[in-house]
Structure 1
Amino acid sequence: MRPEPKSFRYEERDDGVAVITLDRPEKLNALTFEVYAELRDLFAALAHREPVRAVVITGSGRAFCSGGDVHDIIGELFSRDMPGLIEFTRMTCDLVRNIRRLRKPVVAALNGTTAGAGAAIALACDLRVAAAGSKIAFLFVKVGLAGADMGAAHLLPRYVGLAKATELLMLGDAIPAEEAKAIGLHNEVVPADEVLPRALQLAGRLAAGPTFALGVTKELLDEEQHASLHSSLDNEARAQAICMQTRDFREAYDAFVEKRPARFTGR
Structure 2
Amino acid sequence: MAVSLWKNLLQTTKERILQQRRMSLYNSAHGYDEELLKKKLQQFAGGSINLSKEDNGIGILTLNNPKLMNAFTGTMMVELQERVTELENWKDGKGLIIYGAGNTFCSGSDLNAVKGFNFVKTVLGPA
Q: TM-score, normalised by structure 2?
A: 0.55
- Structure 1 residue aligned with 2:22: none
Looking at structure 2, the residues matched to 39 and 21 of structure 1 have their Cα atoms a distance apart, in angstroms, of 10
- Structure 2 residue aligned with 1:34: 75
Looking at structure 2, the residues matched to 84 and 41 of structure 1 have their Cα atoms a distance apart, in angstroms, of 23
- Structure 2 residue aligned with 1:44: 85
Higher relative contact order (CA 8 A, sep 6+): 2
Identity %: 26
2:107 is aligned with 1:66: yes
Looking at structure 1, the residues matched to 69 and 123 of structure 2 have their Cα atoms a distance apart, in angstroms, of 29
Following superposition, the deviation at residue 7 of structure 1 comes to 1.8
Can you give the 5+ residue segments of structure 2 that lack an aligned partner in the other structure? 1-46
What's the RMSD between the two structures over aligned residues? 2.1
- Structure 2 residue aligned with 1:15: 56
Partner secondary structure for residue 98 of structure 2 = strand
2:117 alignment partner, one of 73, 77, 86? 77
Following superposition, the deviation at residue 85 of structure 1 comes to 5.7
Looking at structure 2, the residues matched to 15 and 53 of structure 1 have their Cα atoms a distance apart, in angstroms, of 8
- Structure 2 residue aligned with 1:249: none
Partner secondary structure for residue 41 of structure 1 = helix
Following superposition, the deviation at residue 82 of structure 1 comes to 6.8
Alignment length (residue pairs)? 80
Following superposition, the deviation at residue 14 of structure 1 comes to 1.9
Partner secondary structure for residue 63 of structure 1 = coil
